[in-house]
Structure 1
Amino acid sequence: MCLAIPARVTALHDDAMATVSLGGVVKTISVALLDRVAVGDYVLLHVGYALHTISEAEAERTLAMMAEGGLLEAEIAEMADGAGEAA
């Protein structure tokens, strides 16, 4: 389905890349579209790119709504399969 999904930044790398974590899945993504990002921030992730930073509360609300709607598992599985990972 490929929705934008909140994920927590766990590490920053050279070349505007970062590592994010969600539901036990760890991915390297691009943060080139963001002005600022720090370890611990939540980002809205879509096809391997962080689009915006969001608050932890907003991330939790969004993830809860996605889980309630039955979308969260599919998105985490897609993330684990590497769909939409940034190069």
Structure 2
Amino acid sequence: MCLGIPGEIVELSPDRDDLATVEVAGVRRAVNIGLLGPDGVRPGDWVLVHVGFAMSKIDEAEAAATLDLLRGLGSAYTDELDALADSDIT
């Protein structure tokens, strides 16, 4: 199962304006932020990540509520974290 999972932007790529580092439950990975439009994101913003892409910007309260819900799914949540940990789009 593939889920969208909230992640916090921790760094923008200095070399590519379409990449940012996102942290999800202690896992940091590069994600493509190109779909978020000209306003983009900055460190501290929360995004919904799916298959290596930031699909939308969300607020911190929505991120926390979604993470709580996902944790309750058990293996679907841990499977998604494992997939994120194994991914590399750079």
Give TM-score, length-normalised by structure 1: 0.89
Opposite residue 27 of structure 1, the aligned amino acid is: R
The runs of at least 4 aligned residues of structure 1 exceeding 6 Å deviation read: none
The DSSP-based 3-state class of the residue aligned with 1:61 is helix
Question: Contact 1:49 / 1:86 at 8 angstroms: preserved in 2?
Answer: no
| 1:21-40 → structure 2 map (5 Å cutoff) | 21-35=23-37, 36-40=40-44
Give the CA RMSD over aligned residues. 1.2
Equivalent-residue separation in structure 1 for 2:44 and 2:35 (angstroms): 18
Give, in angstroms, the shift of residue 18 of structure 1: 0.2
Equivalent-residue separation in structure 1 for 2:36 and 2:2 (angstroms): 20
Question: Contact 1:4 / 1:45 at 8 angstroms: preserved in 2?
Answer: yes
Give, in angstroms, the shift of residue 29 of structure 1: 0.8
1:78 aligns with 2:80: no
Aligned to 2:20: 18
List per-residue Cα deviations over 1:23-73 (Å, max 9, x = no partner). Answer: 111101100001221111110001100000000000000010011121322
Equivalent-residue separation in structure 2 for 1:48 and 1:66 (angstroms): 18
How many residues matched?
Answer: 85
> Any gaps of 5 or more consecutive residues in structure 2?
none
